[in-house]
Amino acid sequence: MPVESIFHRLEALLPKVQKPIQYVGGELNSTVKDWDSADVRWALMYPDAYEVGLPNQGVAILYEILNELPGTLAERTYTVWPDLEALMRAEGVPQFTVDAHRPVRAFDVLGVSFSTELGYTNMLTALDLAGIPMLAVDRGEDDPIVLAGGHAAFNPEPVADFLDAAVLGDGEQISIAITEVIREWKAEGRPGGRDELLMRLAESGGVYVPKFYDVDYHPDGRIKRVAPNRADVPWRVHKHTVMDLDEWPYPKKPLVPLAETVHERFSVEIFRGCTRGCRFCQAGMITRPVRERSITTIGAMVEKGVKESGFNEVGLLSLSSADHSEIADVAKGLADRYEGTNTSLSLPSTRVDAFNIDLANEFSRNGRRSGLTFAPEGGSERMRKVINKMVTEEDLIRTVTTAYSQGWRQVKLYFMCGLPTEQDEDVLGIGDLAKKVIKAGREATGSRDIRCTVSIGGFVPKPHTPFQWAGQADHETVDRRLKALRDSLRGDKQYGRAIGFRYHDGKPSIVEGMLSRGDRRVGAVIRAVWEDGGRFDGWSEHFSYDRWMAAAEKAGVDVDWYTTREREENEVLPWDHLDAGLDREWLWQDWQEAVSGGEVEDCRWTPCYDCGVCPTMGTEIQIGPTGRKLLPLTVV
């Protein structure tokens, strides 16, 4: 039976809300399929507002891949703003997809992509509006499988009670495999019901089903063990790794938003993974090994994406895009191809030691010379050794001096506060570095028209990194250090006005830290926050630290125990049964190296240092050069 659109009910509410355009769908390259033509149906959710969720690469890629599959349908849903949520509750309008405005509860799978833990309360809003029981244990045969993915899924334990399943790693291949399991189960007449379907997904070792694992605790609250409670469920669940990105050139037809979004460009992922070894960086650790797209595939993706979307900016994305072995040829080839057009190229934040002025000039050839962004992360040389960000002060000054002398006038620098072993002087060193940048720029150009913006975020220890054992700095310490830095910059009459200063206070980082390294007991806090009105916790204007602390107290959860407490080597961590491929002993040794200031080289260019990923996952580093060139098109 076809599932009817609820748009006629939604439409009457839209004149009463802000930005109604974000709920109407119909974007260029969106897909609406006949309901009865599909026997497996996915609702894909990014748990944030449309303006943040639509540009998300992970959802966009899965949306295309699943809709290309015969007999499969995928639609998108986002978190509605509180004004529409209130109206939907009053009028009984359920959570809907933006493509065909079908009720989310009618789908087989609700796939939620978490890039940050602060989206957990938004998932609960969607479940409740959809009429899907919040706790997985309460769901029946007609409810969708609630499936989590994204970086936060590498520790899904805080939301384990709300999830049916979670997937670790790359989603391209496993989403197809899950689809086929569901299709086969439905074709057989749904034998064994929901439990049997989850069992089939779990048996392969590629899908984590929390209900099939029991957690035992020591009297002091530490985890004693996490063990399967079914005979055929594996002890460890492994991440998925796509080994040939050229076989997956998605998105082919990028969605063009109707409302303003945070990124309005066509993004091409030029490689996946990073082996730089920054100890704070979960993304770099869990996406290993490095796998490059070839220069010809990148060129073909850019050509098709620009043609299909009309975007006039192309972003070449990865965790460190200037590290692509053929980035110079990629940049020159694309700049040649689109010279004289309105299509411009951009790189995200660039490593100081991977930057060169020739590369920057290629990316600004079409006349767009925006500010350059670098991320030293630590304010002192000692701090950068602790986090394995091997950038010297001389490297940074030399790089920005070159940029200023070549016509750039604005440089942005990203740092973190609250890093392990950090002292007050390390944070004050951020100000000293910024002043040296301005001084060098003025000397190189003979001009005072030089700007440097310093942006600082609070450090949060993440699972599957060497800092997973570290004690997090309390928010009072972070705020005190940031205030001292701010006062030092404001009080400098010579350089202060040339330095912009942006920072986040330490309180959101504490909540993120509790969610990042939490276990199943933290789920009660998340639910209590949501019941107290918690929504859009990733937005500063909606976040309430007091609400989270009150909810933790109500749930009997000691926030400090999850955040500022340092873990011992042999403590069972909530995610130890989830395998990112990294050898636990290697991570511990790297944590010890961090404390003593030892550095680790990038294994792309040096011998393997035994992090464990390649042998454990059956993978290998894949880099060029390919020796091929990107030829300009005959007609642009």
Tens-place pLDDT, residues 391-450: 899 999 998 888 888 888 889 999 999 999 999 999 999 999 999 999 999 999 999 999
Phi, psi dihedrals of residue 290, rounded to the nearest 5°:
-70, 130
Helix/strand/coil for 219: coil
> Which percentage of the chain shows pLDDT scores above 90?
86
| 205, 581 Cβ separation under 8 angstroms | no
Pick the closest to residue 58 from 114, 124, 116, 100 (CA basis): 114
> What is the C-alpha separation between 489 and 428, in angstroms, rounded?
9
Region 55-78: mean pLDDT is 97
Residue 610 has pLDDT above 50, yes or no: yes
Predicted pLDDT of residue 43: 98
Pick the closest to residue 225 from 598, 599, 568, 571 (CA basis): 571
H-run or E-run covering 218: none
| Cα torsion angle, 613, 615, 617, 619, sign | positive
H helical segments located in 111-236? 120-130, 172-187, 193-203
Pick the closest to residue 399 from 424, 369, 372 (CA basis): 372
The tokens 């949306």 sit on which residue?
63
What amino acid is encoded at 556 in this protein? G
| 75, 59 Cβ separation under 8 angstroms | no
Region 490-513: mean pLDDT is 94
Kindly report the pTM of this predicted structure. 0.96
394 Cβ neighbours under 8 A, 6+ residues apart: none
| 270, 321 Cβ separation under 8 angstroms | yes
100-104, 294-298, 357-361, 406-410: least confidently modelled range: 357-361
Q: How confident is the model at residue 373 (pLDDT cuts 50, 70, 90)?
A: confident
Tokens of 94: 């359920």
Predicted pLDDT of residue 629: 86
